[in-house]
Chain A
Amino acid sequence: MNPIETLPVQAVPEVAPEQAKPKPGLFKRNPPIAGEAEAIEAAKNGDAEAFSKLYALHKRRVYTLCLRMLGNVSEAEDMTQEAFLHLFRKLGSFRGESAFSTWLHRLTVNLVLMHLRKKGLNLVSLEETINPSEEDAPKRDFGSRDLNLTGSVDRVALERAVASLPPGYRMVFVLHDVEGFEHNEIATMLDCSTGNSKSQLHKARLKLRELLRQAQQQSSPLANSAPKEVLQ
């Protein structure tokens, strides 16, 4: 491949306009992107400009995924960098059997998981380590009804709450609820059982509920004085 000179990152549309709204079906929603196939083939043949186009097309999605999984800007940028370096080296092995964005997405997820294992999740099996400590675990009651979330969760509050989840919860929540992986896929990726994935997801949602209710309570002083009811 030719040396990558100081190429400006290509300005390209994210998706073809007629495909701008992804279909339900979550992770499988990967509409073709205008010009992507040509850029992949050219980049495989050493076209540096084509590689910069692939970066421009996918940087937001890769970075957003890293940011959601890691909850930290600096680490997310490092992993975005690693993902594209890895892509550069492995692009020749992309055979087009799945959508390119799916392939890149999985490559990124695997790199982030490897990174997390290197950080300390490699000593014992992930099955055990994705369980957070007791104080991070969600409370074991149904909570009160005086703070209903229904219809009142905004994106910023949810993003913030997701970022503050313990890493194990965050990983399963992002992979399942945001990115659309199935429990069996998550189990394979995290090397844990399907039941464990389901259980972690449930705990993650309970923890998010707790965090969102706390945030709601702080922003609404009246809610602090509301009587508490707990189901026994």
Chain B
Amino acid sequence: MSDLNNIDFENMTAADFETVLPDLFASGDGRVSEDPRLQKFLAANPDAAALVRDLETIATHARSLFDEQPEVEPSDDVWLNIQKKLNSEDEGGPVAANA
């Protein structure tokens, strides 16, 4: 990974940008589009700015997958299988020994 302290943000090329982008996202709060060091480059490279916005959107929406966790349930078979396994272990396996 790159060392952000050694990057010349003023004269950054597209290749430099690609290299530092993972670290930029990993540092701070991940709001790369608001990073003052990048404003000049992003203004001059609208495709790069669009990429940053899209990646921010993806990260934000990913967090909402946790926050608004949908009601995804395993089938009833899962619990039935757990019961079966535990009962069979209880009849002579390690669980009975600890009971």
B47/A231 in contact, CB under 8 A? yes
Taken residue by residue from 69 to 87, chain B's Cβ proximity to chain A (1 for < 8 Å, 0 otherwise) reads as 1111111011111110111
Interface residues of B in 57-99 (CB under 8 A from A): 57-59, 61-75, 77-83, 85-87, 90-91, 94-95, 98-99
B38 within 8 A of A: no
Separation of A80 and B45 alpha carbons in the complex (Å): 46
Q: Is the Cβ of B62 less than 8 Å from the Cβ of A173?
A: yes
Q: Is the interface of A mostly helix, strand, loop or mixed?
A: helix
Question: Is residue A140 contacting chain B, with contact meaning CB distance below 8 A?
Answer: yes
Interface size on B, residues (CB 8 A): 51
Contact A155 B64 (CB under 8 A): yes
Q: How large is the interface on A (under 10, 10 to 19, 20 to 34, 35 or more residues)?
A: 35 or more
Other-chain contact of A1, B47, B50, B77, B95 (Cβ < 8 Å): B95
A67 at the interface (CB under 8 A from B): yes
Q: When the two chains form their complex, are residues B74 and A88 in contact, meaning their CB atoms are under 8 A apart? A: no
Report which of B45, B58, B70, B85 forms a contact with A153, defined as CB distance below 8 A: B58
In the assembled complex, the Cα of A206 lies from the Cα of B57 at a distance in Å of 12
Task: Type the 1/0 row for A138-169, where 1 means its CB is closer than 8 Å to any CB of B.
Answer: 00101111001111010100110010000000
Q: Does B7 sit at the interface, judged by CB under 8 A? A: no
Q: Are A179 and B66 in contact (CB under 8 A)?
A: yes
| A3 adjacent to chain B (CB < 8 Å) | yes
How far apart sit A229 and B61, CA to CA, in the bound complex (Å)?
Answer: 26
Is B25 engaged at the interface, CB distance under 8 Å to the other chain? yes
Interface pair B21/A202, CB less than 8 Å apart: yes
B46 at interface (Cβ–Cβ under 8 A)? yes
**B26 at interface (Cβ–Cβ under 8 A)?**
yes
In the complex, which residue of chain A has the Cβ closest to the Cβ of B87?
Answer: A3
Are the CB atoms of A4 and B86 closer together than 8 Å? yes
Q: Is the CB of B14 within 8 A of A142?
A: yes
Query: In this assembly, does B54 line the interface, its C-beta being within 8 Å of a C-beta of chain A?
Result: yes
B54 touches A150 (CB 8 A): yes
What residues on B are CB-neighbors of A155 within 8 Å? 61, 64-65, 68, 70
User: Is B31 engaged at the interface, CB distance under 8 Å to the other chain?
Assistant: no
Q: Report B-chain residues with C-beta under 8 Å of the C-beta of A26.
A: 63, 66
5 more CB-based (< 8 A) A-B contacts, given A52-B79, A149-B53, A180-B66: A77-B75, A81-B81, A144-B47, A155-B70, A205-B55
